[in-house]
Amino acid sequence: MGIFIQILLVLLTLLGVGIIVYTRNIVHAAYALCLALVGIAGIYVILMSELLAVVQIMLYAGGVVILLAFGVMMTNRLRGDKVISGSNNALIGAIISLSLFSALAYLISNANFRTANIDHNDQIREIGISFLTEHIVAFELIAFVLLVALVGAAYLAKMAGDE
C-alpha cells in the first residue's frame, strides 16, 4: 500500500513536470507547477517531513503559483496577447539537461550511503526548539529578509503602477 502511494505521488509530480516541459501556454504551466508541488508535498510526508510538507503547500502551492498567475495577467494579458510562449534552442537545451541528468545519475549510482532507522517523534516541537535555540540567528535573519523583500517588492510594483 505504501509503495503504491509513493508511485502514485511520483507519477503525479512527473505529470506536472511533463506538462511544464511540453506546454506553450504559461497559465497551463503555472497550474501544472501547482500539481507538481502538491505531489512533492506528498513525497515529503512519505519522507517523514510533515512540517516541510505543510510549508510547501502553504507557501509554494498557495503563494508562489498565485503570484505567477498574477504575473502572467499583469504582463501578457494587459495587452490582450495570447499567453502563448514559444521555445528555442530545444536541441541544445535537451543535450545539456540530459548530460546533466546522466552525470548526476552516475554519481548517485556510484555513491554508497549508510542509512539508519530513526524515530522522528514530536517533530514539529523539535524543529521549533532548534529554530529558537541553535538556529536563532538564521531564524531572525530570514524574518528580516522576508520583511525587506516584501516591502521592496511592493515598492517596485508601485513604481511600475505610477508610469
Partner 1 sequence: MNEEHLTYYLYFAAFLFSSGVFVVLTKRSAIFVLIGVELMLNGANLVLASFSQYDHDMKGQIFAIFAIVITVCEVSIALAILLNIYRKTRVSNLDELREVGN
Restricting to residues 23-62, which ones interact with partner 1 according to CB under 8 A? 26, 29-30, 33, 36-37, 40, 43-44, 47-49, 51-52, 55-56, 59-60
Q: Is 94 in the site for partner 1 (CB under 8 A)?
A: yes
Q: Is 104 in the site for partner 1 (CB under 8 A)?
A: yes
Distances (CA, A) of 17 to 33, 45, 83: 7, 20, 19
Q: Is 157 in the site for partner 1 (CB under 8 A)?
A: yes
In this structure, the chain runs to a length of: 163
Q: Is 63 in the site for partner 1 (CB under 8 A)?
A: yes
Q: Which is nearer to partner 1, 1 or 111 (CB)?
A: 111
Binding-site size, partner 1 (CB under 8 A): 82
**CA pair distance 155, 160, nearest whole angstrom:** 9
Q: Is 138 in the site for partner 1 (CB under 8 A)?
A: yes
Q: Is 1 in the site for partner 1 (CB under 8 A)?
A: no
Any idea which residue has 502538491 for its cell? 38
Any idea which residue has 504559461 for its cell? 26
Q: Is 15 in the site for partner 1 (CB under 8 A)?
A: no
With CB under 8 A as the contact rule, the residue among 5, 8, 93, 136 that binds partner 1 is: 93
Is the Cβ–Cβ distance between 65 and 31 less than 8 Å? yes
Beta-bridge partner residues of 25: 84
Q: Is 89 in the site for partner 1 (CB under 8 A)?
A: yes
What DSSP assignment string belongs to 88-108?
--HHHHHHHHHHHHHHHHHHH
Q: Is 144 in the site for partner 1 (CB under 8 A)?
A: no
Residues 106-135 touching partner 1, rule: CB under 8 A, are 108-109, 111, 113, 115-118, 120, 123, 126-127, 130-131, 135
| Least CB distance to partner 1 at residue 119 (A) | 10
**CA pair distance 66, 61, nearest whole angstrom:** 8
Is the Cβ–Cβ distance between 72 and 82 less than 8 Å? no
